[in-house]
Amino acid sequence: MLVYKILTKAKRFYSWPLSRKIQYVENLYFRLKTLTIYKYMFRKLGRKCVIRKPLFLTPEFISLGAGVIIWDAARIEAVHNYGEQNFNPSIILGNGVSIQQRCHITAAGELTVGDNTLISFDVMIQDTDHGYQNLEMPIGEQPLIVKKTKIGNNCFIGSGAKIQAGTILGKHCVVGTNAVVRGVFPDYCVIVGIPARIIKRYDESLKEWRRTDSAGLFLN
């Protein structure tokens, strides 16, 4: 059985185009690097994770489930202190999460991405806002406001989307390209636009996806 599995994998490998073969070998290298170097840096590191060439990480505040892949130029940053503020940050990426190129995730509280969620390229997710009320102080120097932010299991976050502080996404949500999202959204919905709104939800009684108004109510 083991020999059969090896031969099957070898046959599949040789059937790929050269570009895919090179990528596969690269990922084997980065997987080995993850297991031998990053293993001792992260708060938690599950099996079969691959961390390629991130721009910046704060691994001591990051927990990864099994099979997580983080592609190139991602910035995943926990904010431990800011000015005179101190935080206890935690970034939790569930099993099978895929973080594509140039994603930016920032958290000062607990920010969670659920199992098997795919985050496309150039996405921003954060649980902080800058205060701006003091007109005598530059906005960049004003205190951070932390709001609970969570993405459910099996979600898809389209390229360029911005998930702002305080957003709660249910499971199996689809966020459209370049959407700017803030708020609480239920399971099984499609969210698009600036500001983002629900345009479609899964009707469990009819077992089909149906269009909705901006409040998420089904249209006749």
In sequence order, the 6+-apart residues with CB closer than 8 A to the CB of 77 are: 56, 57, 58, 104, 105, 106, 107
4 inside domain: no
Residues spanned by the domain of 136 = 37-184
Task: Extract the tokens encoding 76.
Answer: 């995943």
138 inside domain: yes
pLDDT, greater one: 159 or 10: 159
Is pLDDT above 80 for 141?
yes
Spatial distance between the Cα atoms of 75 and 77, rounded to a whole number of angstroms: 6
Average pLDDT rounded to a whole number, residues 12-40: 89
204 inside domain: no
Spatial distance between the Cα atoms of 155 and 114, rounded to a whole number of angstroms: 8
Is pLDDT above 90 for 3?
no
pLDDT of residue 147: 96
Walk across the sheet containing 75-78 and list its strands.
56-57, 75-78, 104-107, 124-126, 162-163, 180-181
> What values do phi and psi take at 216, rounded to 5?
85, 10
201 inside domain: no
Question: Mind listing the pLDDT tens digit for each residue in 75-103?
Answer: 999 999 998 999 999 999 999 999 999 99
Exposed (0-12), middle (13-18) or buried (19+): which is 151, by Cβ within 10 Å? buried
Is pLDDT above 90 for 125?
yes
81 inside domain: yes
DSSP 33-78: HHHHTGGGTSSEE-TT-EE---SEE-GGGEEE-TT-EE-TT-EEEE
In sequence order, the 6+-apart residues with CB closer than 8 A to the CB of 19 are: none
196 inside domain: no
75 inside domain: yes
The number of distinct structural domains making up the chain is 1
Question: Mind listing the pLDDT tens digit for each residue in 163-214?
Answer: 999 999 999 999 999 999 999 999 999 999 999 999 999 998 899 999 998 7
154 inside domain: yes
CATH of the domain at 125: 2.160.10.10
